[in-house]
Amino acid sequence: MKSLILLATLIFSQVSFASGNHYHPKQILKCASECTEAEVKGILPAALDTLVKAKEVREAWKQVPLEKIEKRQFKKGPEWVAIFFDKNQTEVARQRLYVFITLDGWLNGANNSGK
C-alpha cells in the first residue's frame, strides 16, 4: 500500500511540475522565406492579443505605440524585436515592452528587459 501511495505521489507531482506558468511559442505568421519587417509590423496587433490572452502582458499594452522594430542576434539565432514605449508608465524599467518574433514567424514571448 505504501508503494502504491508513493507511486501515485510521484506521478502526480510530475504532472504539476510540467505545467508551469510560462509562455510557449506560437506560430503567428507564415512567410514565404524569412519574415520581413513589414510582415512583422502587420502581425503585431495579433501578437499582442495572443500575449494578453496568455496573461503574459497587460491589456493596456495594446494601446501603446510601437517605438521601433529591429533584428537582433541571440544565442539561438536572430529574431525580430518589436519595441513598444509607454511614456505614461512611471517605473522606468517597465516603460518598454519587447516582443520577440522569430524570422520564421513564431511569437517567442515578451518582456521588459529586451533579453
Do 114 and 83 touch, CB atoms closer than 8 A? yes
Q: What is the pTM of this model?
A: 0.78
Assess if residue 49 is contained within a domain: yes
The pLDDT, as a whole number, for residue 4 is 54
Assess if residue 8 is contained within a domain: no
- Rounded to whole angstroms, the Cα distance separating 66 from 13 reads 42
Assess if residue 11 is contained within a domain: no
The pLDDT, as a whole number, for residue 25 is 77
Assess if residue 14 is contained within a domain: no
b or e along 64-75 (b: 16 or more beta carbons within 10 Å of the residue's beta carbon)? Answer: beebebeeeeee
Assess if residue 27 is contained within a domain: yes
Residue 17's pLDDT band, with cuts at 50, 70 and 90, is very low
b or e along 10-38 (b: 16 or more beta carbons within 10 Å of the residue's beta carbon)? Answer: eeeeeeeeeeeeebeeeebbeeeeebeee
- Rounded to whole angstroms, the Cα distance separating 28 from 12 reads 33
% of the chain with per-residue pLDDT over 70: 80
Total tally of structural domains belonging to the chain: 1
Q: Which domain holds residue 69?
A: 23-111
Assess if residue 41 is contained within a domain: yes
Assess if residue 56 is contained within a domain: yes
Do 113 and 94 touch, CB atoms closer than 8 A? no
Q: pLDDT digits over 25-49, tens only? A: 788 888 888 999 999 999 999 999 9
Assess if residue 60 is contained within a domain: yes
